Amino acid sequence: MRDVIIIGAGGGGPVVAKELAAQGLDVLMLEAGGRNANPEQDWTHFEDDGNNPLSGAQRFGPSDRSKPAWYRQLTTPAMNMNMAGVGGTTQIYFGNCPRAMPGAFKGYSGEDAADYDRDFEFPFSYEELRPYYEWVEETLPVQTAAMGKNEQLFYNACENIGMNCQTSRDISHDAYRPQQNAVLQPGGNAGLSSTASELTYPDATGCTMCGHCVQGCYEPLGAPRNLKAKRSTDNSYVPMALTADAWATAGKAASIISDAFVTKIHSSNVNGKITATGVTWRNTLTGEVVSENAKVVVMAAGCLENPRLWQNSDLPNSHDWVGRGLTDHAFDLVCGQFPFDTGSTKGVGSSARADFPGKGCIEPTTIGPAFLAANLNMSDSGMRGYYDNGRGVYGQWDGPSGRPVGKELKSFLTDINKIMTMLIITDDDVEADNRVVPSSLLNDDHGAVSEITINKRTRSARTLANREFLANKAADILRAAGATNIVRADIVPLLIHVQSSMRMGDDPANSVINANGEAHEVDALYIADNSALSNALGGPNPTLTTQALATRTSEKIMQKHFAGSSWVTSNSPLSSIDNLVTQAVMSRGL
Ligand SMILES: Cc1cc2nc3c(=O)[nH]c(=O)nc-3n(C[C@H](O)[C@H](O)[C@H](O)COP(=O)(O)OP(=O)(O)OC[C@H]3O[C@@H](n4cnc5c(N)ncnc54)[C@H](O)[C@@H]3O)c2cc1C
């Protein structure tokens, strides 16, 4: 019997694996997708080769690309973008690591407290999570993003509309600031050259500013895996977990099995309480079915798969809250066209941000032309200049919201370096009707597939008002930066930041896990990925908070089941974390 089995090796699972392996536990991680041993050889920077949701290397599907992607049923218009494989969706994430807004936590007493989703706050204080933030920021590490022309334009524009710069990692007021991210800063030739031959390791270290975070990071060429620029978990926490025997005092190397799709969590009645006892998985390459027992099972299969696995395993759900309360940051895109070069395709996915406590955030983003065209296409407001389906809205942008088509789209995409795209990241409410359930129509090799409902048009008044505020603010910033044509797309849900579908809370009537991360209704079953988040965090990108929470949950597991003690809080505060945004690197020439 294993000590701990972890289901899923994405943003959250490997954190628990690393922390508990370092304490000497026997940990097994099971990942449905493949394990890419050599991304440098297998991945390209071509957007379709990487991000095609059906056949791309970065799809949610089996490692054998000749086999179809795994299906999800969407009951409302939406686009789903997450990835299977060791590293999960962090393989294609931007690496932005802001802390959550303090107002999303219990006990917050700021004067803007009422602006947040108070009904679904975290069941403990922001101060309680701070040492775990520091631990993850030190481990990944999280540093100030490298910046260039795009960010300079953004900061100047923010100043011009009266905003100032926040210089702490904690978010306290409306402000712009450099991103804190999990991308190693450029060194050597990196950031100074665009010539491929000068950007190989060790002449170049860290981020080469290639602009292809979404196609998976394999830069700089020739760098060992743990010195690739982006600290997705396949490059960071997974190697640490698998080598814990070598670097942790009592550590034992964790094991990982990829191409292992977990189809059932086993449970039995122990002393009158349903208790998790192990799992069954299916080898996606051979079809072989295997079962193994464990003292503790940790679900980290992501927001869209955990509810399906729970219900396909017939685990209790007395309050019918499993899968409910899905948040997605109600994204939108506001895109500006400029008469000059903005440097918009250089560098990491986003190096700057503006935060608006109680409302959400805005990020200028670096995305390729296919991704941009696909996203603009997802408008819920018809086609600009052709037809308006009754939903086109006016604001600080030019004309009604909608998707640009014909000559306007062509002119946007003709010179992708003369645009700047603002991603609107809304602080959206937890709403019971936004949910994931096993489909009653469709099965695959792993049981009833996930059926996802998140209806953009019926979001709460607060969510919709926050989104409008941010879209107008983004247009103001673009105008101040010199944009001559601004388009607001008003997109349907883009399921990139999915959170809170198995939320943490004190009340079993509207949550699945307790404040320690353990299921209210199943002993020895924990959740440690984005689905465990209590709410949408106030808007900041979720992964750092998921990883901080997963670290805290690891301690709770160790304390309750293995007679361990705390190793994070006893080391806090970590000496090298000063809570300040520092070490900014300007990439000369880019
Ligand atoms: C383009 C893009 C950019 C992003 N940028 C950022 C950013 O800058 N900052 C940020 O914070 N977040 C960002 N995100 C979101 C970020 O990727 C997620 O927050 C994070 O990956 C979530 O971690 P997770 O563990 O919940 O899920 P995932 O990372 O999706 O991992 C879940 C894993 O479980 C596996 N799995 C699923 N079902 C099973 C099963 N039954 N058995 C075994 N394994 C299973 C999956 O294959 C997957 O590997 C971005 C996402 C995208 C798509």
DSSP 68-84: PPPP-EESSS-EE----
The residue count of the chain comes to: 590
Q: Classify the C-alpha dihedral 412-493-538-518 as positive or negative.
A: negative
Question: How many helices and strands (H and E) does the chain possess?
Answer: 12, 24
Q: Which residues have C-beta within 8 Å of that of residue 541, sequence separation ≥ 6?
A: 94, 96, 97, 98, 361, 425, 497
For residue range 520-542, what is the model confidence (pLDDT) as tens digits?
Answer: 999 999 999 999 999 999 999 99
256 within ligand 1 shell (Cβ under 6 A): no
Q: Are 254 and 244 in contact (CB under 8 A)?
A: yes
Q: Using N-to-C axis directions, what is the helix angle for 149-160 and 461-481, rounded to 10°?
A: 110
Q: β-strands 180-181, 143-144: how paired? A: antiparallel
Locate the ligand 1 atom nearest the alpha carbon of residue 214 and give its number: 1
- The closest residue, in CA terms, to atom 15 on ligand 1 is 497
CA of 195 to the centre of ligand 1 (A): 32
Say if CB 303 and CB 504 are below 8 A apart.
Answer: no
Mean pLDDT of the chain: 94
What is the Cα–Cα distance from 9 to 529, expressed in whole angstroms?
A: 10
279 CA from centroid of ligand 1 (Å): 21
For residue 412, CA distances in Å to 344, 405, 422, 513 come to: 12, 10, 14, 46
> What Å distances lie between residue 379 and 54, 404, 468, 493, CA to CA?
21, 9, 15, 10
* Centroid of ligand 1 to alpha carbon of 91 (angstroms): 8
Counting ligand 1 atoms within 8 A of each CB, the residue from 93, 232, 491, 544 with the most, and so the one to mutate, is: 93
Give percent of the chain with pLDDT exceeding 90. Answer: 91
What is the distance in A from the centroid of ligand 1 to the CA of 412?
30
DSSP annotation string for 194-230: --GGGSBTTTEES----S-GGG---PSBT--GGGSSB
**Is there an atom of ligand 1 within 6 Å of 96 CB?**
yes
Contacts of 214 (CB under 8 A, 6+ apart): 47, 50, 51, 58, 92, 94, 349, 367, 368, 371
The verdict on the CB of residue 261 being under 6 Å from ligand 1 is yes
Ligand 1 closest atom vs CA 95: 8
Verify whether ligand 1 is closer than 6 Å to residue 497 (CB atom).
yes
Of all protein residues, the one whose alpha carbon is nearest to atom 14 of ligand 1 is 93
Q: Who has greater pLDDT, 262 or 37? A: 262
Best residue among 7, 82, 449, 499 to mutate for probing ligand 1, ranked by most atoms within 8 Å of CB:
82
Q: With a 6 A CB cut-off, is 496 part of the ligand 1 pocket?
A: yes
Phi then psi for residue 385, to 5 deg, are: 85, -10
**Is residue 200 scored above 90 in pLDDT?**
yes
Burial annotation 264-284 (CB, 10 A radius, 16+ → b, else e)? bbbbeeeeeebbbbbbebbeb
Encode pLDDT of 394-429 as tens digits.
999 999 999 999 999 999 888 899 999 999 999 999
> Is 262 a pocket residue for ligand 1 (Cβ < 6 Å)?
yes
Tell me if the bond preceding 186 is cis, omega within 30° of 0: no
- Alpha carbon distance 572, 202 (integer Å): 34
pLDDT per residue as tens digits for the range 310-331: 999 999 999 999 999 999 999 9
User: Which among 139, 225, 54 is positioned nearest to 568, based on CA atoms?
Assistant: 139
Amino acid at site 209: M
Going by C-alpha positions, the residue among 432, 433, 451, 429 that lies closest to residue 441 is: 451
**Radius of gyration for the chain, computed over Cα atoms and rounded to the nearest angstrom:** 22
584 pLDDT higher than 60: no
Q: Is the CB of 70 under 6 A from ligand 1?
A: no
pLDDT digits (tens, 9 = 90+) for 431-490: 999 999 999 999 999 999 999 999 999 999 999 999 999 999 999 999 999 999 999 999
3-class DSSP assignment, residue 269: strand
Residue matched to tokens 């095609």 = 52
Residue 588's pLDDT band, with cuts at 50, 70 and 90, is very low
Token representation of residue 343: 């440097």
Pocket mutation for ligand 1, best pick of 502, 543, 545 (most atoms within 8 Å of C-beta):
543
pTM of full prediction above 0.75? yes
